Amino acid sequence: MNEESPFKGQSGWRRVVNAFHYSLAGLRAALQAEHAFRQEVLLAALLIPLALLLAPSGTARALMVGSVLLVLVVELLNSAIEAVVDRVSLDRHPLAKRAKDTGSAAVFLALINVVAVWLCVLVD
């Protein structure tokens, strides 16, 4: 069955404006409700200026900053997965655990990526 969501509606500039507002609402919600996201935002606030100072080239800066921003993106997606799982049911279920653990693993890999990228850039 290929049904469109009844919540889709606007197009053109109105859609862009709405999307911007929804994005800000999502960031606000994550900052208010997600402790891990707040920690990673603090980490980004420290690492991004450091990357701008330490990186030897524009490409290196982009890689260092991009790796940090990727952690925030993956954490937002992980938080969304957890919210949907909790919305469906708060009961313990192996599939719910798998979804949450997989999201957590994605964040972990994104953090490992930060370390690897920063080491590659700074040791080179």
Given a contact cutoff of 8 angstroms between Cβ atoms, the answer to whether 43 and 82 are in contact is no
Phi, psi of 100 (to 5 degrees): -70, -40
What is the Cα–Cα distance from 85 to 64, expressed in whole angstroms?
Answer: 32
82 is catalytic: no
- Indicate the DSSP class of residue 124: -
The Cα angle at residue 84 between residues 113 and 16, in degrees rounded to 5: 75
Catalytic residue, candidates 3, 4, 40, 75:
75
Instruction: Name the residue among 123, 122, 124 with its Cα closest to residue 50.
Output: 122
What is the Cα–Cα distance from 83 to 71, expressed in whole angstroms?
Answer: 18
Query: Which residues are catalytically annotated?
Result: 75
